[in-house]
Structure 1
Amino acid sequence: MIKNNKASLSKGIEIIKNELLTIPNKSGIYQMIGENSEYLYIGKAKNLNNRIKFYTQPKRLNSRLSYMVSNTVKLEIIVTSSEIEALLLESNLIKKFEPIFNILLKDDKSFSSILFNLSHSFPQLSAHRGQRNIKGDYFGPFVSKNTVQKTIETLQKIFLLRTCNDNIFKSRTRPCLQFQIKRCSAPCVNLISKESYRDSLNEAKKFLQGNSKSIKQNLIKKMYDASNKQNFEAAAIFRNRIKALTDVNASQNINVPNVNDVDFLVLRKIENKVVIQMTIVRSGCNYGSKSYFPSPGKNGTDVLEEEIMQAFICQFYDKNIPPENILVNLNPKDKSLIEELLHKKHKIKVKIQLPQRGKKLEIIKSTLKNAEENLNRKIYERSSNKNNLKNLQQTFNFKNSIQKLEVYDNSHNQGKSPVGAMIAFNEDGFLKSLYRRYNISTEHKNSSKQISDEFINNNDYLMMKEVIKRRFAGKNSSGFPDLIIIDGGKGHLNIVLNVLKDLQISSIEVLAISKGIKRDAGRENFYTKNSDSFRFNKDDPTLFFLQKLRDEVHRYAIAGHRIKSKKNIFKNPLDEINGIGANRKKSLLEEFGSAKAVGTASISDLLKVEGINKSIAQKIFNFFN
């Protein structure tokens, strides 16, 4: 519970003063910790003693810092050899512990790039995310995953590059359909030389480097040549490639003079609401724009804009590779220190600059307008989400306000490839970083056939029971939702209530959504522990809100089920047996020919196989029988 009064502030200051007696005048990080070992704040300092002494002067503390000190029960430090090491450690620990008074970048996923994998004789284009440890040429990052996929498909179509993976490439004996429709040059069966294929690959690279004009002119010439020879089919193919090239080029074109690679970062803050608008430009091409809404922390109205910019740059470029130039509308705190940090981490000499004139300043101003529009839209959405959560609490007479909720659903096909799914929601909207899928196994240790049959017949209940147990058993209550919503009826509700009771969790409300007559939207029945059934009017906004939540978890669950089903198509039953690795699996298949034949083998037959001892043979026999 957050405290803020004179007594608790004095107590917090006293705790910090006692710690100061042993804190050195060295660089490092300090961690303010509250009750139940909750991390309140993590900061870095060039001189730990001087920095921490600041928190013992109540007249210099704003309301946010007063809150923080009032709730501090312990102070810990880590000494580092330099201030830059302190900054790096601070960034890592903030990401790990997510202290409530720190500025947090909640969406820290790395962007995708386009990879030309040069380890193959006929390189393939692919989307790549994460560390660039594969030998090849990388282009990006792209903000949108869809843009990456569309660009790859366009390049494959224009330059006739292969689309198949390495396994399919090796096994082909004749060209595939892509060759027949003039979208691949069939390197798999050597219908193009390595040199010619590399030339096509280099043309694709030129396009991504912004040199599309000569490529387009070459295609136009080929189109007219084919047309003059009355080869209209070939002319139409070149026309379509030109159109595809133009479409992708139009979405990426931006003219930034004298700048090769640059990220534009613009920050706008209204009270405690913040947006950082980012536009990525590489080789003069616009690779996309994205809005970030970092949390300025508890009581974040007092947080300075330069501190937010500093936190964003440190956290964002922890996973993403920075360009040589980062252009901003305001300089971050400790600008030169951040530049040094990025250089140390990524081996790139980065300059953070404030444009004063020209095209760069125009782009900053334009990006700022977009940032303001997006922030106003976000503020409206937050207000709407708050009202929806409040109406939900009032409609069902829940005891406490709903700050955060989680929605659960199961997806399977007659018990096959079962997946449980959970989504989370609060006033910020859908919290996609908290989404989780739970792979449910129909095989349980020491289970009998009767239990297996029970699973198939009542899988929805047992799946829900397992998912809720896995979500809440042994977890810290600080991350718990105020409300659980489940897609199911009264039976599902009772399952969840019983699991929570067994786990001694009484703070979470539960709401079940049951499909209505003929599964019509608007005729759903709702159940809580205190009511048998409830139905909304068809035009009730709270009903629309609940349907939106249910549809989202349903979408997420089905997507997980499809992924699992696809994997299971290529799954070998031998992979599920504990103790069967690649070598034993290979020996078994060489001896018996298939997993099905292994399943019919006796223990004595299995013992004849190299690497199979009595214990393993018994496991294999028990698995299939």
Structure 2
Amino acid sequence: MNPDNQETFDIQGFLQTLTTRPGVYRMLDEDGRIIYVGKARNLKRRVSSYFQRRDDSPKTRSLVAQIRSIEVTVTHTEGEALLLENNLIKKHRPRYNVLLRDDKSYPYIFLSEGPFPRLGFHRGRRRAKGRYFGPFPNTSAVRESLSLLQKIFPVRQCEDSYFANRNRPCLQYQIKRCTGPCVKRVDEAGYQEDVRHSVMFLEGKSSQVIDELVQRMEQASERLEFEQAARYRDQIVNLRRVQEKQYVSGERGDLDVLAVHQQAGISCVQVFFIRGGRNLGNRLYYPQHTTHAPPPEVIGAFIAQYYLANRSDRLVPPELLLNVEPEDRELLEQVLGERAGRKVAVTARVRGDRARWVEMAVRNAEHALKAHLATRSSQQKRFEALQEELGLSELPRRIECFDISHTQGEATVASCVVFDNNGPLKSDYRRFNIENITPGDDYAAMHQALTRRFRRLKEEDGKLPDLLLIDGGKGQITQAEAVLGDLQVAGVTLVGVAKGASRRPGLEQLIISGHNGAVSLPPDSPALHLIQHVRDEAHRFAIAGHRQRRAKSRRSSPLEAIEGLGPKRRQQLLRQFGGLQEVVRAGVEDLSSVHGISRQLAQRIYDTLHPDEK
């Protein structure tokens, strides 16, 4: 206890009047700010303990030294105290409490209603009529599940407005990811069968789906409908492969696996989501103010703040598997059970398959924290700042940026550079030679590059970016929006990087798709520095590609593109006429007079060298 506190705060007098009932206490500093919120089964015993210990941690000693007053709220039960504590922590975010930083919503898979419902990505309030499956830990998990579903059960994933205005099948139909309900290529009964199987898959009943498909494959084979039987066979194979990857051995229900790991004063909590017996992936959290908090305190505070938040997407599963037993485990079970409306088990002592899952979560937490510490420098801070400035629901893990380069329309090249949390991912860089557009039309060039890039990603199940940067303003953003809409790419944040009125570095304006107006970041913003780095890298890569293409085109002869005119005939033609300029001036009769040049080939040469006369 700090001597100064004795003069400004009568601790003994306060403790004498304190009740022994359950409740919440709030510790305030000299400025009246709440610096710590706690709950207690016995308020008097719990608060007194702060001023009686002699072996407190540095965190507790520092806390006690700053206390100038304490406020209490008496509750009927300890469970009520836990809920009130969580609400006060969330509201005031005291500096000495363990804080859950990430409080964003989770994504879901949404199945709409109607004769031809759609499956799609959803985040936010669940207002639309239909079914919601999840929550999923991140956007990537939703994309992976939707991609799997499209390959196995081709239910449409396009927006309703897009679906209603089609008069011919789109790309998804051509690559066999949709059965074309928009143009009546499938009847309602057949489509609803794929919908039913998709629902069963999302509910973890893929074994039942396989049984049905096996029976149908045999029936189709008996009817000599071998093409249909082959389709069922492919669905069965894909489902079995998914099962091998997704099933938790011995588990068929819903549970979360949580592990906490600490190093260098930082805590990492790893959460794995098991739904319907399927591992939907994991999510990382780095709670704040955990420097001197032991693992049981961290995991207990995390569970309370995470699952007791008033959010529809924070569903409490029937069981939580942990690597350490939290403080007040029984109380957590009671309150979580009341929130969920059923029994909830919080278990830290597990064996067999469950122990292996907890061990896996621990290994992931250790690895993630090691990587986090290694990349906590400017790169990590830049990504976190970018997430905050753009209001992203989760940290972007993959950024792609496109730029266009040409010289007065000549040799147009588009670049695509890729960054992740570790910096440039050069193995994923791509260039696109732009063809068949009006020279100098940057909008058409951007449209072509984006179409080629994202069509290939869709066809090959490639990794989609979390954030797509376009070097340009509103016009370029419009092109990107059109491409993403046509290819039904969802969950990608689209941002244009305009140079601003003076075109000076540091004065860039960000045009965020779906938002009105432009956003300007301070010149010293780490988020702006990251955007500039990615944009400049795209610019450099585009210019290098353009210069290479331009140099190649200037070194090459237009004769090289003529079918049937090989190297020997080209040399003979140039020798006979004394150079390319004279070849261009020659007529068909002159050209055909050269040995080895037929009349037909001469006409082809003439047409190539005089495109305007066609």
- Structure 1 and Structure 2 fold alike (TM over 0.5): yes
Structure 1 residue 204 and structure 2 residue 193: aligned? no
* Structure-to-structure mapping, 1:608-623, within 5 angstroms: none
Contact 1:407/1:550 (8 A) holds in 2: no
**Distance change >3 Å, CA 133–CA 74, structure 1 → 2:** farther
* Structure-to-structure mapping, 1:232-243, within 5 angstroms: none
Aligned to 1:551: 530
* Structure-to-structure mapping, 1:302-451, within 5 angstroms: 303-317=293-307, 318=309, 319=311, 320-382=314-376, 385=377
Aligned to 1:72: 67
* Structure-to-structure mapping, 1:494-533, within 5 angstroms: none
Aligned to 1:55: 50
Q: Counterparts of 1:199 and 1:388 in 2: how far apart (Å)?
A: 46
Q: Counterparts of 2:373 and 2:81 in 1: how far apart (Å)?
A: 35
Aligned to 1:30: 25
**Distance change >3 Å, CA 218–CA 182, structure 1 → 2:** farther
Structure 1 residue 126 and structure 2 residue 123: aligned? no
Contact 1:35/1:71 (8 A) holds in 2: yes
Contact 1:10/1:70 (8 A) holds in 2: no
1:266-318 Cα shifts (integer Å, max 9, x gaps):
22334633222222212221111233322344xx32x2322211111112212
**Distance change >3 Å, CA 212–CA 335, structure 1 → 2:** same
Q: Counterparts of 1:166 and 1:554 in 2: how far apart (Å)?
A: 38
Amino acid at match of 2:294: L
**Distance change >3 Å, CA 338–CA 178, structure 1 → 2:** same
Contact 1:108/1:315 (8 A) holds in 2: no
Give the 3-state SS of the residue equivalent to 2:134 in structure 1.
Answer: strand
**Distance change >3 Å, CA 296–CA 207, structure 1 → 2:** same
Aligned to 2:454: none
**Distance change >3 Å, CA 406–CA 195, structure 1 → 2:** closer
Give the 3-state SS of the residue equivalent to 1:349 in structure 2.
Answer: coil
Aligned to 2:455: none
Aligned mate of 2:254, from 247, 258, 261: 261
* Superposed displacement of residue 29, structure 1: 1.6
Higher-Rg member (1/2) = 2
* Structure-to-structure mapping, 1:588-603, within 5 angstroms: none
Structure 1 residue 274 and structure 2 residue 261: aligned? no
**TM superposition score normalised by structure 1:** 0.56
Contact 1:31/1:42 (8 A) holds in 2: yes
**Distance change >3 Å, CA 279–CA 556, structure 1 → 2:** farther
Contact 1:407/1:553 (8 A) holds in 2: no
1:134-187 Cα shifts (integer Å, max 9, x gaps):
544333332231121221133134322122222333444555443454432333
Structure 1 residue 155 and structure 2 residue 149: aligned? yes
Aligned to 1:602: none
**Distance change >3 Å, CA 102–CA 205, structure 1 → 2:** same
Give the 3-state SS of the residue equivalent to 2:109 in structure 1.
Answer: strand
Aligned to 1:141: 135
Amino acid at match of 1:86: A
Contact 2:101/2:288 (8 A) holds in 1: yes
Aligned to 1:115: 110
Contact 1:409/1:553 (8 A) holds in 2: no
Q: Counterparts of 1:233 and 1:205 in 2: how far apart (Å)?
A: 25
Contact 1:58/1:66 (8 A) holds in 2: no
Q: Counterparts of 1:408 and 1:322 in 2: how far apart (Å)?
A: 27
* Superposed displacement of residue 244, structure 1: 5.5
Give the 3-state SS of the residue equivalent to 2:298 in structure 1.
Answer: helix
User: Which is further off, 86-95 or 165-174?
Assistant: 165-174
Aligned mate of 2:101, from 102, 106, 128: 106
1:466-496 Cα shifts (integer Å, max 9, x gaps):
99xxxxxxxxxxxxxxxxxx98xxxx86xxx
Amino acid at match of 1:160: P
Aligned CA-pair RMSD: 4.7
Contact 1:274/1:296 (8 A) holds in 2: no
* Superposed displacement of residue 333, structure 1: 1.3
Aligned mate of 2:284, from 268, 288, 291: 291
Contact 2:500/2:509 (8 A) holds in 1: no
**Distance change >3 Å, CA 233–CA 28, structure 1 → 2:** same
Aligned to 1:445: none
**Distance change >3 Å, CA 169–CA 551, structure 1 → 2:** same
Q: Counterparts of 2:68 and 2:535 in 1: how far apart (Å)?
A: 41
Give the 3-state SS of the residue equivalent to 2:135 in structure 1.
Answer: strand
1:174-226 Cα shifts (integer Å, max 9, x gaps):
55443454432333455544443332211112222334356457768988999
**Distance change >3 Å, CA 149–CA 196, structure 1 → 2:** same
Q: Counterparts of 2:164 and 2:15 in 1: how far apart (Å)?
A: 67
**Distance change >3 Å, CA 138–CA 20, structure 1 → 2:** same
Give the 3-state SS of the residue equivalent to 2:158 in structure 1.
Answer: coil
1:535-559 Cα shifts (integer Å, max 9, x gaps):
xxxxxxxxxxx8x98235766999x
Q: Counterparts of 1:115 and 1:407 in 2: how far apart (Å)?
A: 25
* Structure-to-structure mapping, 1:433-472, within 5 angstroms: 457-458=501-502
Q: Tell me how many residue pairs correspond in the alignment.
A: 425
Amino acid at match of 1:47: N
**Distance change >3 Å, CA 336–CA 556, structure 1 → 2:** farther
1:245-275 Cα shifts (integer Å, max 9, x gaps):
4664444233134x51111112233463322
Amino acid at match of 1:125: L
Contact 2:2/2:64 (8 A) holds in 1: no
Contact 1:11/1:70 (8 A) holds in 2: no
User: Which is further off, 162-171 or 336-345?
Assistant: 162-171
Give the 3-state SS of the residue equivalent to 1:106 in structure 2.
Answer: coil
Give the 3-state SS of the residue equivalent to 1:30 in structure 2.
Answer: strand
Q: Counterparts of 2:535 and 2:304 in 1: how far apart (Å)?
A: 31
Q: Structure 2: give runs of 5+ residues left out of the alignment.
A: 391-400, 404-420, 422-466, 475-498, 512-519, 538-614
Q: Structure 1: give runs of 5+ residues left out of the alignment.
A: 390-403, 414-424, 426-434, 443-454, 468-485, 494-509, 512-545, 559-625
* Superposed displacement of residue 338, structure 1: 1.2
Aligned mate of 1:186, from 152, 157, 180: 180
Q: Counterparts of 1:456 and 1:112 in 2: how far apart (Å)?
A: 34
* Superposed displacement of residue 462, structure 1: 11
Contact 2:205/2:276 (8 A) holds in 1: no
* Superposed displacement of residue 97, structure 1: 1.9
Give the 3-state SS of the residue equivalent to 2:103 in structure 1.
Answer: coil
**Distance change >3 Å, CA 212–CA 91, structure 1 → 2:** same
Amino acid at match of 2:275: R
Q: Which runs of 4+ in 1 moved over 6 A?
A: 217-240, 386-389, 404-411, 459-467
Contact 2:5/2:68 (8 A) holds in 1: no
Aligned mate of 2:87, from 70, 92, 112: 92
Give the 3-state SS of the residue equivalent to 2:288 in structure 1.
Answer: coil
Give the 3-state SS of the residue equivalent to 1:105 in structure 2.
Answer: coil
Amino acid at match of 2:153: F
**TM superposition score normalised by structure 2:** 0.57
Amino acid at match of 1:208: L
Aligned to 2:40: 45
Amino acid at match of 2:530: D
**Distance change >3 Å, CA 462–CA 352, structure 1 → 2:** closer
